[in-house]
């Protein structure tokens, strides 16, 4: 429903955060990756595929890029499991799958106005919020020797959000206004 | 110039669509440009091209949106651009645009699932019987249903609300055909009548359990009435300056716009029968 609120506001000339372009840029995996790259947020060499290819290897983290799936992350550890998982997630090659190499520890964190549910990633979520302007979302990242790598963004569920942080941030924003 | 045409396998199923795609290709090549069909697996190569023409079905959740946005960010000329896809694909956004800009259109109300007697009464008092119910994302008349009474309205809307958070409920306007006005960069490039098949009420109707398409009758674009032209161009300017197909009813009270579509159908032997320069105009726009 948030998308409609943004669209409604934009149509009637009201400034809105996030706007529809920002929402789409964050929640469609290839667009997320490209915007992150352009803004210096670390990503890894993701690939869009619809079927298994010989040059693709496990371990990998896969995300479905289709209209139907949320919470689609799958970690595949062995090469033999890749073709089956890609076939399933692509719905028989109908939709692309975004494949990211697994290079570190996979974490799911919630970003709230630049704050993180995970202290280790607080600098990363601050930068993410500056670039993407999404007030609350879930991020899938990997932590490796070089720091935090962005893999995916999707809407956060209510239970995944620290509402005390959100309320504090809302108060700050109101005061600034 | 290198033009990429984003398609999916189904774009080659119908001979008339396949033939139109080949006409785009031959037209571009005759003008000295390359024209390559690209598919889902080629998305990451998009920056290799100068322009992108999308013929696969578009909506913000489709691959077509991704390729459109990536192309726009890479500086390509894009038809359909992401803004046009987001706007035209969503009937709720169109409802807002029509209201804000006083576009003549059938009465319509957004419905979020409030089945209180007052709300249902209000809808039918305002729109009359029957009503048309649409999900935000409809294509080729799918997810567009007609309810003749309250019981049908409740049954159909509950079914559609399983996959949508909001529905557009619209006054039913009976007609034998819809005008289809093809617009490119806010100019009319073709004009057709999309006829309603006998026994149906929309261009693609289910009749005796079978999907039946009405005829397409091309009409010279220069014969468009000044009022229809004015409404069509006014609306297209509110959306953008891309390629659009407007569906318009002609009624005793004047023209009423049903919707504006990005990614309009262009099939060989249908939209292009009279104004044959559609292909050249679109390629020229892509390379401009």
Give the CATH number of domain B177-287; options: 3.30.450.20, 3.30.1370.100, 3.20.20.210, 3.30.470.20: 3.30.470.20
> So what's the pLDDT on residue B52?
98
> So what's the pLDDT on residue B7?
97
Matching CATH topology for B107-171 and B177-287? no
Kindly determine whether residue B70 and residue A21, on different chains, have CB atoms separated by under 8 Å. no
Question: Minimal Cα distance from B9: which residue of A?
Answer: A94
pLDDT digits (tens, 9 = 90+) for A73-125: 999 999 999 999 999 998 888 888 999 999 999 999 999 999 999 999 999 99
Kindly determine whether residue B40 and residue A50, on different chains, have CB atoms separated by under 8 Å. yes
**Residue ranges of domains in chain B:** 2-82, 107-171, 177-287
> So what's the pLDDT on residue B121?
95
- Reduced to 3 states, what is the DSSP secondary structure of residue A150? strand
> So what's the pLDDT on residue A55?
81
E-strand stretches of A58-160 = 60-64, 74-76, 97-101, 105-112, 115-116, 136-144, 147-154
Give me the residues of chain B with pLDDT under 50, please. none
Q: Can you name the CATH fold of A2-43+103-176?
A: D-amino Acid Aminotransferase; Chain A, domain 1 (3.30.470)
> So what's the pLDDT on residue B141?
66
Q: Under a CB-based contact definition with an 8 Å cutoff, are residues A17 and A130 in contact?
A: no
Q: Can you name the CATH fold of B2-82?
A: Rossmann fold (3.40.50)
What is the distance between the alpha carbons of residues B98 and A22, in angstroms, rounded to a whole number?
Answer: 24
> So what's the pLDDT on residue A37?
94
Q: Does B95 touch chain A (CB under 8 A)?
A: no
Residues in A touching B70 (Cβ below 8 Å): 30-31, 34
- B66, B41, B86: which is closest to A31 by C-alpha? B66
> So what's the pLDDT on residue A84?
93
Angle at A153 between CA A151 and CA A159, to 5 degrees: 125
User: B88 is written with which tokens?
Assistant: 């035209």
What is the distance between the alpha carbons of residues B233 and B210, in angstroms, rounded to a whole number?
Answer: 36
Exposed, middle or buried, B200 (CB in 10 Å: 0-12/13-18/19+)? middle
Residues in A touching B96 (Cβ below 8 Å): 7-8, 11-12
Residues in B touching A31 (Cβ below 8 Å): 66, 69-70
- B30, B89, B23: which is closest to B53 by C-alpha? B23
Q: Does B161 touch chain A (CB under 8 A)?
A: no
Question: Minimal Cα distance from A6: which residue of B?
Answer: B93
Residue written as token pair 């003549």? B104
Kindly determine whether residue A66 and residue B69, on different chains, have CB atoms separated by under 8 Å. no
> So what's the pLDDT on residue B28?
98
Give me the residues of chain A with pLDDT under 50, please. none
Q: Under a CB-based contact definition with an 8 Å cutoff, are residues B33 and B279 in contact?
A: no
Exposed, middle or buried, A40 (CB in 10 Å: 0-12/13-18/19+)? exposed
Kindly determine whether residue A30 and residue B70, on different chains, have CB atoms separated by under 8 Å. yes
pLDDT digits (tens, 9 = 90+) for B234-253: 999 999 999 999 999 999 99
* Region(s) of chain A under CATH 3.30.470: 2-43+103-176
What ipTM does this complex have? Answer: 0.89
- Reduced to 3 states, what is the DSSP secondary structure of residue B53? strand
Please give the distance of CA A137 from its chain centroid, rounded to a whole number: 8
Q: Does B102 touch chain A (CB under 8 A)?
A: no
Exposed, middle or buried, A108 (CB in 10 Å: 0-12/13-18/19+)? middle
Question: Minimal Cα distance from A67: which residue of B?
Answer: B61
Residues in A touching B165 (Cβ below 8 Å): 1, 4
> So what's the pLDDT on residue B275?
97
Check if CATH label 3.30.1490.20 holds for domain B107-171: yes
> So what's the pLDDT on residue A142?
97
Residue to mutate among B67, B78, B96, with most A CBs inside 10 A, is B96
> So what's the pLDDT on residue A69?
65
Bridge partners of residue A60, in order along the sequence: A76, A101
Give the helix ranges, DSSP H, for A45-159: 82-89, 122-132
Q: Does B142 touch chain A (CB under 8 A)?
A: no
What is the distance between the alpha carbons of residues B25 and B22, in angstroms, rounded to a whole number?
Answer: 5
């Amino acid at each position: 429903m948030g998308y409609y609120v943004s669209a409604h506001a934009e149509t009637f000339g009201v400034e809105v955060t996030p706007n529809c372009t920002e929402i789409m840029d964050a929640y469609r995996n290839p667009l997320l990756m490209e915007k992150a790259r352009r803004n210096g947020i670390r990503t890894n060499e993701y690939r869009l595929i619809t079927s298994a290819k010989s040059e693709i290897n496990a371990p990998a983290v896969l995300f479905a890029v289709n209209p139907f799936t949320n919470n689609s992350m799958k970690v595949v550890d062995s090469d033999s499991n890749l073709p089956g998982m890609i076939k399933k997630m692509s719905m028989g090659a109908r939709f692309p799958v975004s494949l990211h190499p697994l290079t570190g520890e996979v974490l799911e964190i919630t970003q709230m106005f630049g704050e993180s549910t995970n202290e280790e990633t607080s600098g990363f979520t601050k930068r993410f919020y500056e670039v993407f302007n999404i007030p609350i979302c879930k991020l899938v990242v990997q932590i490796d020797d070089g720091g935090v790598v962005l893999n995916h963004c999707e809407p956060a569920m209510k239970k995944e959000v620290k509402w005390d942080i959100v309320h504090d941030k809302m108060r700050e924003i109101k005061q600034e206004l | 110039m290198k033009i990429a045409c984003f398609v999916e396998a189904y774009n080659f199923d119908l001979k008339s669509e396949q033939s139109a795609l080949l006409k785009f290709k031959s037209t571009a090549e005759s003008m000295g440009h390359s024209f390559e069909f690209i598919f889902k697996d080629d998305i990451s190569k998009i920056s290799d091209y100068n322009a992108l023409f999308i013929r696969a079905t578009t909506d913000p959740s489709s691959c077509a949106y991704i390729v459109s946005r990536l192309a726009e960010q890479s500086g390509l000329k894009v038809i359909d651009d992401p803004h046009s896809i987001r706007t035209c694909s969503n009937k709720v956004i169109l409802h807002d645009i029509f209201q804000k800009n006083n576009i003549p259109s059938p009465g319509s109300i957004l419905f979020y699932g409030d089945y209180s007697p007052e709300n249902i009464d209000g809808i039918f008092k305002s729109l009359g019987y029957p009503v048309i119910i649409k999900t935000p994302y409809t294509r080729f008349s799918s997810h567009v249903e007609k309810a003749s009474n309250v019981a049908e309205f409740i049954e159909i809307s509950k079914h559609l609300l399983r996959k949508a958070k909001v529905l557009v409920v619209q006054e039913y306007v009976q007609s034998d055909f819809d005008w289809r006005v093809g617009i490119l960069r806010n100019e009319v490039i073709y004009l057709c009548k999309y006829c309603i098949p006998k026994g149906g009420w929309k261009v693609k109707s289910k009749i005796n359990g079978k999907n039946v398409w009405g005829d397409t009758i091309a009409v010279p674009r220069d014969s468009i009435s000044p009022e229809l032209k004015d409404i069509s161009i006014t609306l297209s300017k509110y959306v953008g300056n891309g390629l659009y197909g407007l569906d318009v009813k002609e009624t005793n009270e004047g023209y009423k716009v049903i919707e504006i579509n990005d990614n309009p159908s262009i099939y060989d032997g249908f939209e292009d029968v009279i104004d044959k320069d559609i292909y050249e105009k679109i390629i020229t726009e892509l390379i401009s």
